[in-house]
Amino acid sequence: MAGKILSFMGICGGLASLFVLLPTGLKAQATNGVISGTVTDPSGAALPGATVQVKNVSTGVSRSVTTNEVGRYRVPDLLVGQYEVQATQAGFQTVVESAVRLTVGSERVVNFSLPIGQTQETVNVESQLAQVDTTSSAVATLVEEKQIADLPLNGRNYTQLIALAPGVLQTPPTFASGFYGRGADYSVSGSRPEGQAFLLDNTNVQNFWNHGPGSAVLGTTLGVDAIAEFSTQTNTYSAQFGGAGAAINAVTKSGTNSLHGSLFEYLRNNVLDARAFYDGPELPGFRRNQFGGSLGGPVKKDKAFFFFNYEGLRNRQGLTQIATVPDADARRGILPGLAPITVSPQIQQLLSYYPLPTIPIGGGVGQVPSVGTQRGDENYFLGRVDYRHPPRTHSSPAT
């Protein structure tokens, strides 16, 4: 079977990413994170009107808010990455929390207690955030960029890592076909292996039958180099994710102030393959090339950034098929236990289209193996542009 696929999933996901940094409030962002907390004085009293600045370490993009009347602040729609958070108030020292890491769809609580002093005096604090998420009751498993890069992936299919979450079982597709999809299904906590939400940059990328994104004829989900991280939500998660019992929430990489990229090519072939029981004397050929690259960087420093990823897959796989055909005696009308019969010229011509068997069975038939080549070509594109509007200071709503 030959197949040539242009991954519209990657294109749609990339187009959705163009608007990641538009003004907040336009759309709920399941992939972006939130930093919130309170600002108090040494006695524990709330400090209304304190300024809290949140800065992305990689992009240099910063946002500022002021605390409300009870000293609370909230900064939503932040991209995944490392942040530096500082709080300032007249008559108090400035406190800076460094190495605050935001993961996909997470909310981090950063509380400040400002010592009395001059604003020019700065207290740097190494962030020690709680390992238990106190802002959500969701049960989720995070797969980070390092795990995606280091763990073995057959075919560079990142969705295989969904099985790292407890209670997740990978199952083959029920009706594997080019129309239904050949990608693996996943049963979460015993639920039916269908209907989960597969989000890429807040866009649902499931196939027509709601069986995950691996709908191409080769059953793989390309774009590993484009995935920053993803979270598998398995229980009591927010309704914004959707899905029937589970949601896979992935976010793509973004550009930074430094130019960065990658080039790769992977090759698999039949040199070290073992011969299957039904293969003939010649081992079926197999060759798989996966190649591509990514590039990200600044369009304008601290303001606009781009990221582009391409991955190609060329698969040539030999498949052995066993056919049952009439043997030489049957072609002459000689069948076991029966008197010889006369074979008409029309029947003889029809039988001539079948090859002679190489594996005798008896009863007038035998088997002959044949090797055909399955061709599959896939191309995956993903692009995103992140733009930051001029920073502005505003009061965050009470929480």
Q: Of the given ranges (159-163, 225-229, 308-312, 386-390), which has the lowest mean pLDDT?
A: 386-390
Which pair of structure tokens corresponds to residue 254? 């973004």
Residues of the chain with CATH 2.170.130.10: 2-15+138-318+378-387
30-39, 84-93, 208-217, 356-365: which range is least confident on average?
208-217
Burial class (CB in 10 A: 0-12, 13-18, 19+), 218: buried
- Residue intervals of the chain classified under CATH 2.60.40.1120 are 31-135
The per-residue pLDDT for 392 is: 55
**Nearest residue to 241 via CA among 184, 185, 194, 200:** 200
Nearest by Cα to 378 from 217, 254, 159: 217
Q: Convert the pLDDT of each residue in 95-113 to its tens digit.
A: 999 889 998 888 899 999 9
pLDDT (tens digit, 9 = 90+) per residue, 71-83? 999 999 899 999 9
Pick the CATH number of 31-135 from 2.60.40.1120, 3.40.50.300, 3.40.50.1000, 3.40.50.410: 2.60.40.1120
Any idea which of 6-15, 318-327, 329-338 has the lowest mean pLDDT? Answer: 6-15
Q: How far is CA 15 from the centre of its chain?
A: 16
Whole-angstrom distance, CA of residue 157 vs CA of residue 212: 12
Would the pLDDT of 346 be above 60?
yes
Over residues 270-291, the pLDDT tens digits come to 888 888 777 777 778 889 999 9
Best CATH choice for the domain 2-15+138-318+378-387 from the list 2.170.130.10, 3.40.640.10, 2.40.70.10, 3.40.50.720: 2.170.130.10
- In angstroms, the CA 130 to CA 96 distance is 17
pLDDT higher than threshold 60 for residue 9: no
pLDDT digits (tens, 9 = 90+) for 188-224: 888 888 778 888 988 888 776 777 776 667 888 888 9
The yes-or-no verdict on residue 119 having pLDDT over 90 is no
